[in-house]
Amino acid sequence: MRQKLLLHVCCAPDLTVPYLRLRRHYEVVAFFYNPNIHYDGEYMLRLGEAERLAELWGFELIRGEYMPQDWFAAVRGLEDEPEGGRRCRLCFRYRLERTARMASELGFEWFATTLTISPHKDVKAVNEAGERAAASYGVKYLRTEFRKRDGFRESVRISRLLRMYRQRYCGCVFSMR
């Protein structure tokens, strides 16, 4: 029997390839948890696209809570950090801690994140955040680098085919600058 894996989803295009790769080995449930996304309209757009993909491909997607004020409080003092800096590392930890907690509450053995498909993200920092979160909640984190083996290019191809919305900024208000 395949083990259950909770997959943190940052957006629908980034979910495509990770889901297709992981479902060969795990029973995958997606978890959309991104209080970093601004503004509300943008958040709903990204969530809606992830839900559309889940319905199209027939897998479960859990909606995480959306509390951007808590995320702002967590990154206070790091507003002027450049993209890829300390604010981003904290943002990875924030989202993966919540995912690890959810995986533990639901009795999942594993969790992972779609964040490592992006050519703009520090994969080492993402995986370190995942492992720290795993240690806090007693679940296993699956280290990945989905952008390898042409993962990112394939995700762009699939998302264009499905006419998915592709955002132009990472997510937070600071990344819109």
Binding residues for ligand SF4, rule: CB under 6 A, are: 36, 83, 87-88, 91, 170-172, 174-175
Taking the complex as a whole, the smallest distance from the CB of residue 127 to ligand SF4 amounts, in Å, to 14
Taking the complex as a whole, the smallest distance from the CB of residue 59 to ligand SF4 amounts, in Å, to 25
Q: Which is nearer to ligand SF4, 26 or 97 (CB)?
A: 97
Q: Which is nearer to ligand SF4, 36 or 114 (CB)?
A: 36
DSSP state of 81: P
Q: Where are the beta strands (DSSP E) in the chain?
A: 3-9, 26-32, 61-63, 110-113, 140-141
SS3 113: strand
Structure tokens at 122: 């520090």
Q: Which is nearer to ligand SF4, 26 or 38 (CB)?
A: 38
Non-local CB neighbours of 120 within 8 Å, separated by 6+ positions: 83, 84, 170
How far is it, in rounded angstroms, from Cα 169 to Cα 79? 16
Structure tokens at 90: 């904290």
Counts of helices then strands in the chain (DSSP H, E): 6, 5
Q: Which is nearer to ligand SF4, 125 or 156 (CB)?
A: 125
Q: Which is nearer to ligand SF4, 24 or 80 (CB)?
A: 80
Taking the complex as a whole, the smallest distance from the CB of residue 3 to ligand SF4 amounts, in Å, to 28
For residue 17, how many other CB atoms are within 10 A of its CB?
24
Taking the complex as a whole, the smallest distance from the CB of residue 58 to ligand SF4 amounts, in Å, to 29
Taking the complex as a whole, the smallest distance from the CB of residue 132 to ligand SF4 amounts, in Å, to 16
Structure tokens at 52: 């559309």
